[in-house]
Amino acid sequence: MKCFVWRVPYSTDRFTDGTSMFEFVRDELLNKKILRQGWGVEDLRNGQNAYVERERSKGNTNYQEAVNRFNILKPMLDIEVGDRIVIPKLSLRDSESIPGKYFTVVVCTKVYDFYFPYIRDWDFSHFIEVDWSKEKDSTYDNNAQPYISEQLKDYGKAINRVRNTNLTNAVKALMPELTRQ
């Protein structure tokens, strides 16, 4: 089992139709069990060159920025069925529909996929499918999981592979019934 930290848009950014990006991603997760990520109109499986070329063709990204975006998103390709994904500042509880001091842990059920064009401003086409029926939803102040909460600040990119064994084990301990042998 691997562990990842997946950040969603927490800002007040909105699509051109006025929809909050955070609410959109949360609703997709809650209603479709799809965890989406933005940045790009090219399937990551086509490789860095194809991604960079497509990003640059949009006219608002220079070469290095496009390479950086690809490298930030690339860990999505390493997520396998059964891997745990920690989503900081997101709760699936009805009363917590804004970013806050909590995190949710979900399990990957279907690996990376890409659907373009997506309906939201040609973005958020990268996704994985997850199971949150056994999700663990904790507040940062929850004394049972202070270690996880404390470590999340070290993972600031959109997609982060967790290499800290202690953090992976702490996440694994939240969902022992799903741990692969």
- pLDDT: which is higher, 86 or 58: 86
Class of domain 3-36+80-178 as given by CATH: alpha beta
Q: What's the pLDDT band for 180 if we cut at 50, 70, 90? A: very low
Is the pLDDT at 136 greater than 70? The verdict is no
Structural domain boundaries in the chain: 3-36+80-178
Number of Cβ atoms within 10 Å of the Cβ of 127: 21
Q: What is the pLDDT of residue 35?
A: 95
pLDDT tens across 156-166, in order? 999 999 999 99
pTM to 2 decimal places: 0.87
Lowest mean pLDDT among 12-21, 50-59, 130-139: 130-139
Give 86's contacts (C-beta < 8 A, 6+ positions apart). Answer: 3, 4, 5, 6, 103, 104, 105, 148, 152, 162, 171
Q: Which residues 6+ apart lie within 8 Å of 13 measured at CB? A: 20, 21, 22
Residue 102, pLDDT above cutoff 90: no
Chain segment 69-95, per-residue pLDDT in tens: 999 999 999 999 999 999 998 888 766
Is the model more confident about 144 or about 112? 112
pLDDT tens column, 5-48: 999 988 788 888 888 888 888 989 989 999 999 877 789 999 99
Supply the pLDDT for residue 181: 32
Nearest alpha-carbon partner for 125 in 40, 3, 56, 55: 40
